[in-house]
Structure 1
Amino acid sequence: MSHLDAVILGLVEGITEYLPISSTGHLILTNRLLGLDGDTPVYDASGTPIMVDDGASGELRPYTLGDAAYAYVIVIQAGAIAAVVILYWRTILNIALGCIGRSATGRRLAVNLITAFLPAAFIGLLLDDWIESYLGDNVYAVAGALFVGAFVMLGVERWRKHGRKAPVDPEDGPALHELSIKQSLMIGFIQCLAMWPGTSRSMATIVGGYLAGLSPKHAAEFSFLLGLITLTAASGYKFVSNGEQMLAALDIGPVLLGCIMAFVSAALAVKWLVGYLSKHGLALFAWYRIALAFAVFIFIGA
């Protein structure tokens, strides 16, 4: 992987991680365009092929360039995670104070976030190998999820604006710590839909926030904070399960460069998204997903 590849993937990761357009889908497509999705075996420093557990069959197979690229995009999520930590450090500090009994609102928000995370934790562990084997780099699956997710967003946006009395002011609606356990759990189960590449974790959690009665601003902020837990857990699990192979296949330079680019672009995207959603909603992202899905189908057929 070249430094230019690292810059491109870092920018794509940072821009798309928190926008409801699917970072995983964009990174799979970017890997395809950069030629990083091949089955070429990856060798260690001694020239020996790196072997990994196949997962589905339990047999060993060569660790490929596509495996390394897929692992890389999960590792550089650290940059996007750091961006939210910096931007929302006051909220995170309040959560930490709540965990030691010094903030009632922080404690309730911590409970809500942990509750929303639990479905992904259990279902993700059960389906991780299956998803990587059958959907991990499936461009058709990505395009389909982009298309279906777009119409879900348009439907929920129409319901929010016309199907009920919607909050007009971005500060209206319940605060994040005022969500019930039931509402938080609902958002968590909806987040699990994003395990299908191309769906978008951000889209799923923002839609879940809408359905729970949150304003666009608060739905986005809950999505960011929940993403801290979900993305950290996913990256940590990937490193624990495939860390040795990843370290052997990836150079530290491109990894750090990708993380830096992801950090900068994610910070800018997060700041922009909160203001945009409050004024305009999800429609723009839905139409973008439809256009991208058609472009992918054309690209596949070309």
Structure 2
Amino acid sequence: MTFFEGFILAVLQGLTEFLPISSSGHLVLAQVLFGIKEPTLSYDLFLHFGTQIAVILYFWPRLKRLFSLLFSKKNSNENLIKRWKDVLIPIFFVTLPVVLVGIFVAERVEKIFYTAKYLPFTYLFTAILLLTTKFVKLKSLKLKWVGLSLLKSLFIGIFQAVSTLPGISRSGATIAGGLYVGLKPKDAFEFSFFAGLISITGSFIFEILKNGNIIFFDVFQIVNTFVAAICGYLVLRLLGNLIKSGKLWIFSIYCFVMCITSLMVWLKL
């Protein structure tokens, strides 16, 4: 892979990882249309590492408040246990489905679905999913993710598991799932990326442990990791504002276009 191809993939990763338009779907199309080779596992892992740096930086004030809440010495033992349950139960059950997918069917999914012929259907699914959020009444959304019930957390987790398919956006699916169960837009946005931070970081660590002998550093890789981080941070600022104003559905237009584009690529029109 040339430096230019690596740079393009870094920008693509930073822009599409967080926007509800499926980064994996774009990667599959880029490989088909432009002949860009699939990045090495090492390069792919560090691009994801870059975008997770963006998540930590963007949500750092909220993460600090969350940690201070959990570890505050002012909490009584009973109050402390309740706060930990309120945080850990939603996080555990939103992450559980994608962990099970990763353990049992991830390789099979990658072999079957990482081709252009399935993208029209998965992009259509994402487009419809995002479009339906236009009809959610924001004023009726009252829930916060801290203290969310087991079943509602699991429901959002199923959306996250389904998003392992190329063309289905992880952020779009989980944010939409959060809105469906009644989370405030701000909380649906936050919960989506906290869940992603844990699942993607877990995957990152697992792959390093599994394939540690192929992980290496070079200047280009480090530079493009920071490129992905910068692009990702800017996208988070944009997406946060759009979600709070109830405009997540706007991305359905783009996904419909991607559905048609991928259909044309598949049919070689």
Unaligned runs of 5+ in 1: 38-65
- Residues 1-302 of structure 1: matches in 2 within 5 Å? 1-37=1-37, 66=38, 68-69=39-40, 72-97=43-68, 100=71, 104=80, 107=84, 108-135=86-113, 137-158=114-135, 160-161=136-137, 166-167=138-139, 173-245=142-214, 247=216, 252-300=218-266, 301-302=268-269
Q: Give me the whole-angstrom Cα distance separating, in 1, the residues matched to 2:170 and 2:47.
A: 16
Deviates more, 1:96-105 or 1:197-206: 96-105
Task: Report the residue type matching 1:80 in the other structure.
Answer: T
Say which SS state the counterpart of residue 182 (structure 2) adopts.
coil
Amino acid at match of 2:4: L
Q: Over residues 58-86 of structure 1, what are the superposed CA-to-partner deviations in whole Å (9 max), with x where a residue is unaligned?
A: xxxxxxxx3x4466334311111001111
Question: What number of residue pairs does the alignment pair up?
Answer: 261
Q: Give the SS at the match of 1:146.
A: helix
Distance 1:217 1:194, change over 3 A: same
Q: Cα distance 1:34–1:241, how it changes in 2: closer, same or farther (>3 A)? A: farther
Contact 2:129/2:173, CA 8 A, preserved across alignment: no
Whole-Å Cα distance in 2 between the matches of residues 106 and 254 of structure 1?
A: 43
Q: Secondary structure at the match of 1:20?
A: coil
Q: TM-score, normalised by structure 2?
A: 0.87
Q: Distance in 2 between matches of 1:26 and 1:295?
A: 11
Change (3 A) 1:106 1:269: farther
- Quote how far apart the aligned CAs of 1:34 are: 4.0
Q: 1:126 to 1:97 in 2, by over 3 A?
A: farther
Give the Cα separation in 1 of the matches to 2:239 and 2:83: 24
Deviation at 1:175, TM superposition (A): 1.9
Deviations 1:150-197 (A, max 9, x none): 112223432x13xxxx427xxx62222131222111111121110111
Q: TM-score, normalised by structure 1?
A: 0.78
Change (3 A) 1:115 1:70: same
Q: Whole-Å Cα distance in 1 between the matches of residues 211 and 118 of structure 2?
A: 24
Query: Alpha-carbon deviations, 1:89-109, whole Å to 9, x = none?
Result: 232234444555757586322
Aligned CA distance change for structure 1 residues 191 and 110 (closer, same or farther; 3 Å): same
Q: In structure 2, how many angstroms separate the alpha carbons of the residues matched to 1:111 and 1:101?
A: 19
Q: Which has the higher contact order (CA 8 A, sep 6+)?
A: 2
Unaligned runs of 5+ in 2: none
Whose helix fraction is larger, Structure 1's or Structure 2's? 2
Distance 1:269 1:214 in 2: 22
Paired residue secondary structure (2:20): coil
The one-letter code matched in structure 2 to 1:295 is T
Per-residue deviation at 1:142? 2.5
For 1:196, give the aligned amino acid.
L
Aligned amino acid, residue 270 of structure 1: L
Q: Report the residue type matching 2:202 in the other structure.
A: A
Quickly say closer, same or farther: Cα 1:12–1:106, change in 2 above 3 A: farther
Identify the range of structure 1 (148-157 vs 98-107) with the bigger mean alpha-carbon deviation.
98-107
Q: Percent identity?
A: 26
Q: Supply the distance in 2 between the matched residues of 1:74 and 1:252 (Cα, whole angstroms).
A: 13
Q: Is the 8 A contact 1:13 1:73 kept in 2?
A: no
The letter of the residue matching 1:118 is L
Query: Is the Cα contact below 8 Å between 1:94 and 1:106 reproduced in 2?
Result: no
The secondary structure found in structure 2 opposite 1:178 is coil
Provide the C-alpha distance between the structure 2 equivalents of 1:261 and 1:280, rounded to a whole number of angstroms: 29
